[in-house]
Structure formats: structure tokens, C-alpha cells
Structure 1
Amino acid sequence: MTEPTSPGWDAIDAALDRRYPGVRPLHHASGLPYAAGGRDPLDGISLYPRDDHWHLVGYGMSDLHEKRSPDEEESGWGFEFTIRVARAAGDDEPPTWALSFMQNLARNVYARQAPFVPGSHLQVNGPISTARPDTAIRAVAFAEDPELGTIDTPHGTVQFLQIVGLTPQEYAVIDRWDARRLLDALRPSLPLLVTDLDRTDLTADPGVAAVIEEGVRRDGSSRALIPAKKANWRIEDGVTTVTLDVAAAEHAGRLLPLRLPYGRDLTVNPFDKGVKFGPGEEFAAAPGRFDVLGIRLPADAATEVATALRSGAGTYRPAGTPGLQLRVAPATRRFTFPPPA
């Protein structure tokens, strides 16, 4: 009888053996496999103790046992999660919160049917560890693991994708700039991009802040899409009226100066009566694909439109865009009824 093989798992082990020769890591194994109805997508997570941090590496986002993914070049989803968690001297207690967090991210991938890649990012909607409500780390971005990189396996390539904890202030920079560039700006302070639940916000450091502001001025924003609770437009009697909810309008008003001068478009809702702003030599507005209104703005008009969108609820007719009316809808009111007497 032939022994079952796990060439994908073995390839990950070999990569870790090269980085940690002779080290036997702690290993947290899941119970019932995910493919058999288990709750955890990752079959296991290995934990390597370093002097100042734990290095956690997951097994389960790639094809560990047999080739399942249709992509011939990549194994499974094409990556495995890693995270580095700060470790105090003499602390031998592994960070169990990180095990749960990695499994939750893996579930997210299967639920969305979309992988994370370097530069992906998300808010955690609370502290990254529920056991540490005081931590400033409340968001994450993803980068290639600086030591493990990408490997070839019998089932295709696997990139080790490191989870990097961020503060809300650091996360806000991504909107104005770019996740990968932000992480590069943080590397002098976080050489291996360790997630430290005790650290403070690095954007408060004058040196880091200066690098960020220079990068934003040089590069603009990589954010191309903005969601909206309300987005609509109509053309009537030669007037094009664009309606956006106040939050989406304010967001667009902040990003237009960081997109259009750099030759990039900005779309508010990519489908169903959305609006796509772009640079142009002359003002123009015309419906396009997927019922999205295309608006081309010269530099001065773009500044006027951005200012109007940031001005709160109301109706605006920027001077540089004849025939364009911007309607910023107020936030939906919520009524709270008093309890009965």
C-alpha cells in the first residue's frame, strides 16, 4: 500500500528548515480538515521563537497534499499566511490570538473567493486581539514575508504573505498614498514588519511623517474606487446632476487632488449609476459602460469640484463645469423613540 504524500507541505517544511536549520517549532494542528467539514481552513500553524518575536507560518492556503487549484502556475490560492508577533525576553507563551486571527483571515478568503496579495489591507473593526482592548493595532496590511519570500513546489508557486498590524492613523495613510509604500516607510522602525501590540502610532514620529507626506506629494493615491451608500446621476434639460451621499462626496473630494493631477481616474461606485472622474483638457460629461457617468475635468475645475464635494450637504454649481450640478445628500437620519411612560 502506498503511503500518502504531502509534497506541498514538505516544500513548506523545506523552506522553513533552510531558514531555521535544526529548530523544531511549536505546531498547532487543526482537528477535522476543512475539506472534510472542519471549521479551520489552515491545517496547522508552526510557531518559531525568535529573540524578539514569534514567527508564525500557516499551512492550508496552498495545495498541501494534491493539486486542486486549476491554475498550473500557483499552488492553491498561491500563498500561505505568516505573521511576526513581538515577544518579550523570556516569554515562552505563544500568541494564541494570532492563531485565531490567521484562521479568520483564511475563512475570509474562502468566503470572498478572492486571495490577499501584497498591498491588500483591511480594518479589523476593533483591537486585533480581543484580549488586548488597549492595543492601538486595529488594522492590517499584507507584504511578502521579508525572509521567506516565494518558493516553488510540485504544485506551483507559494508566496509567504505576511500579516502586518497597523494603527488607525497608519491605516488612514493608505487611502491617501499606497499600502506597499506605507510599509516601506515603516520598515526603518519595523525592519521585519513585526506586529507589536504594545507599540504606539508611528505616524506621530516626525521622521516617518515627513517620509509619508513627501511620498503622498510625489506619488498621489493608488486608491481608484470609492463605495457609496447613494450614487446617482441624471441628464435633464442640458444639466447633468450628480448625487452622492455626504460621506462618499467628502471622500471623493479628498482623493480627487491625489488622483486626477497624477493622470488617474477616481470612480465612485463602479456600477449602477456610479460616477467616474478623470483628468481632461476640457470639461465633459457623458454616460459610459455599466451606466457609469464619465466626467472629465481640467485642473482648475477639478479643484472646484473637490472643494464642493467637501463642503457638506447641499447643491453646488462649480463655475468651471457649466451644466454640472453636484448634489450632496445628507446622512440618513435615524430616529430613536423614547420608551413608553
Structure 2
Amino acid sequence: MNEEAVTTGWDAIEEQMKKLYGAQEPKHYGTVIPYMLGGKDPLDGLSAYKAENPLPHWHIVTFGFSELYEKESENKEYSGYGFELTFRVARTEDEEEPPMWALNLLQNMGRYVFSSGNVFASGDYLDANGPICLGTDTQLTALAFVEDPELPSVVTPNGKVEFLQMVGITEDELEAMKTWSTSGVLGASQTNLPGYITDLSRDSLLRIPSIAETVQRGLEQEGSNTGFLFVDQLAWEPGKSRLFSKTPTVLTLGAKQAGTVGKLLRGRLLKGKDLTLASQDLRVVLEPGAETGYEAGEQEVRLRLDEATADELSRKLLPKEDRIELTAYKGCIIQVVKTHIKDQDGNVVSTIG
């Protein structure tokens, strides 16, 4: 194998890391069996550097979301998926190896992207539906993505590569990011979350009054940046006319998402913005309008809500099983059903609603 000819993408990543850490030799973890040959780990490698500022931590970078060797994709602007992930994890003074849970988590992110085709961008978030480090009592149960503050994007011979840093977040921080914005919540937390370092032992930042107040003020003034929300439990059943009666139209929503959607209605529709809910088979577009009404196709439904109806629904949508009838939507019912949270083996570990 001609190393000079095929490792240009890999070399470009290492060069960026050398600008930060000089001659420091990172702890590198390669993949024994390539993913394309049946290996379990989709990323070709992970490198962990010891960083001291602003606090001691491991700075881990992935190799594999971008094209590390020869150019294969037709997209000339970006290399592969166009990014590599980084992860800053708190480190004790006597630690000589990065925590395995962090390395495993990054490989899991690789599996998610490679299997789904969904890519990450700055401002995104992902609910892990449980501790990001399995078997611990950490409050960090989700991830946010932001541009790595010390690694600007780089243009390689295979295209552009951005460095996205993963940040472990709590359930209520995730909710705040959905209902306001990821950058807003992280920006309000910079003093208390230096370098966006993930520390499994930390408490929710929203317990700090100044941060909670900033988040609430941002939501009220700016509304929400979340215009699209993926919803596992989403169904639409149009009403049917019978001889002496008519069954109502029913929109079904899972309890886990119901409370979030209720808050998003305030941050989107009451600010004049649309909100799209999407499952694998259906899209429901909620949009502000002078009058209530809906248009339904095979895979997309558009619901118009006037201000009073949007406000009413936002107050009634809660994370619990319910049957919601709206004043202005006489023939339409919102059915909130229980959400069963399952582990990787498909076992129900908790129920919402």
C-alpha cells in the first residue's frame, strides 16, 4: 500500500491535532477488522490527547466519518460525511488511558450514522434514552453537537471536514435546547461548562438560577429554533361518515413527545413559525393560520391552528395518556398514548404516560 497516496485525509486530521498538541503522542485505538469486512466498529480509529485547559480532560477525535484514504464519493465539496467527531471528557490527574465508555460511545455514533445515513451538524442533539455511560447513575442522558472551539474546519484533498464536538447533556437541558436553541443553552452555560467538557458527575445546569432565567428569557423572546422533530409514535386516522354519525379525525402522539410538542407550539406557532413532526411513514406540519383547518394526503398532513387554538393545545399537551378535544377543532381529537422506553435488547425499561 502506498501510504503517501492513500492517507491524505487521515494526515490532514492529524495535522490539525498537532497544531494543538505539538509532538504529544496520542493514545490511539485502531480497528482490527474493517467495518466493510464484517468488523463491529465502523470508525477506522480514535485518538485521545491529554489536554490541560481549561480543565484536565481527554480530547478524543474520530477517524472515519470523512474519507481518510482515496476519494470515493461524488461530492467534491465535502469529504465523506463532511465531519469528524470530537469528545472532551473530564480526566483525573492519574489517568493514563481515556475511559472506554467514551470510545464505545463514539463508535456507537459511527454505527448510527453508517446505518441510518443521518448526519450531525452544529446545533443538533440526540436523546440517548438512558445514561450515556451505561451502568452509571449519571444524569447525562443525551448529547448535543457544537463546532469544536479549538478545531476549525479543514480542506483536505478529499474535500472539507468539520470537527463537531459531542457534549453530554441532561434530560432537562435537552428539553431546553429543543424549545429554545442548542447554541443558546450552551452559550448561557459557558462559565459553568468550560470547554464543553463532559463530566459524568455534574448536575443539571438548569438548577443554576441565572442559567434557567436566561433560557426562559431566550424562549420567550426568540421562540424555538427546532422546526423539525422526529417522533416515533405518530399516526393520523381521518374521520369517517356513518349513517347517523361521524367518527372524529384522530392525531395520535406518544406521551414522551407530547410535552415537548406542547412547549414547541409556544416557541414556533405562537411566534409565526411552522413545526413539522415526522415519523418514518408520516409528516404532520403544524402551521399558524387565521382559521383552523387541515389538508391530508397519504403521507403528509397540514394542520392550521389559529393563535387561540395553538395556545389551547400547548397548554393541554402533557406527557401523559390523554384524549384532547379542542374548542375550534370539533371533528379532530389529539390522542396521547403511552411511550415505552426500550433498551438495546428490546426490553421495556420505563413507561411514560
Specify which structure has the higher proportion of strand. Answer: 2
Deviation larger for 291-300 or 136-145 = 291-300
1:336 matched residue in structure 2:
none
How far apart, in 2, do the equivalents of 1:180 and 1:70 lie? 32
Note the alpha carbon deviations across 1:271-296, whole angstroms, 9 max, x for none: 86754321112333333x54533222
Matched residue SS, 2:58: strand
Residue 39 of structure 1 aligns with an amino acid whose one-letter code is K
How far apart, in 1, do the equivalents of 2:106 and 2:339 lie? 36
TM-score, length basis structure 1: 0.86
The 5 Å alignment of 1:176-195 reads 176-195=179-198
TM-score, length basis structure 2: 0.83
1:294 matched residue in structure 2:
302
Within the alignment, does 1:101 sit opposite 2:105 as a pair? yes
Cα RMSD, aligned residues only: 2.7
Change (3 A) 1:262 1:10: same
Change (3 A) 1:19 1:251: closer
**Percent identical residues:** 37
Computing the radius of gyration over CA atoms, which structure comes out larger, 1 or 2? 1
Note the alpha carbon deviations across 1:246-274, whole angstroms, 9 max, x for none: 62555433322221121112234468675
Shift of 1:243: 3.2
Query: Please, which of 111, 115, 124 is the counterpart of residue 115 of structure 2?
Result: 111
1:259 matched residue in structure 2:
268
Structure 2 regions of 5+ residues with no counterpart?
Answer: 341-353
How far apart, in 1, do the equivalents of 2:277 and 2:64 lie? 36
How far apart, in 2, do the equivalents of 1:61 and 1:78 lie? 7
Q: Is the 8 A contact 1:233 1:273 kept in 2?
A: no
How far apart, in 2, do the equivalents of 1:309 and 1:137 lie? 25
Within the alignment, does 1:217 sit opposite 2:217 as a pair? no
1:171 matched residue in structure 2:
174
Matched residue SS, 2:132: coil
Shift of 1:308: 4.4
Within the alignment, does 1:59 sit opposite 2:63 as a pair? yes
Within the alignment, does 1:138 sit opposite 2:141 as a pair? yes
Note the alpha carbon deviations across 1:182-222, whole angstroms, 9 max, x for none: 22222222231101112111110111111111111122223
Residue 221 of structure 2 aligns with an amino acid whose one-letter code is R
Residue 33 of structure 2 aligns with an amino acid whose one-letter code is L
1:50 matched residue in structure 2:
51
Within the alignment, does 1:304 sit opposite 2:304 as a pair? no
2:124 matched residue in structure 1:
120
1:339 matched residue in structure 2:
none
Structure 1 regions of 5+ residues with no counterpart?
Answer: 334-341
Query: Please, which of 202, 205, 224 is the counterpart of residue 202 of structure 1?
Result: 205
How far apart, in 1, do the equivalents of 2:336 and 2:88 lie? 44
Matched residue SS, 1:149: coil
How many pairs does the alignment contain? 329
Shift of 1:54: 0.8
Query: Please, which of 282, 286, 298 is the counterpart of residue 277 of structure 1?
Result: 286
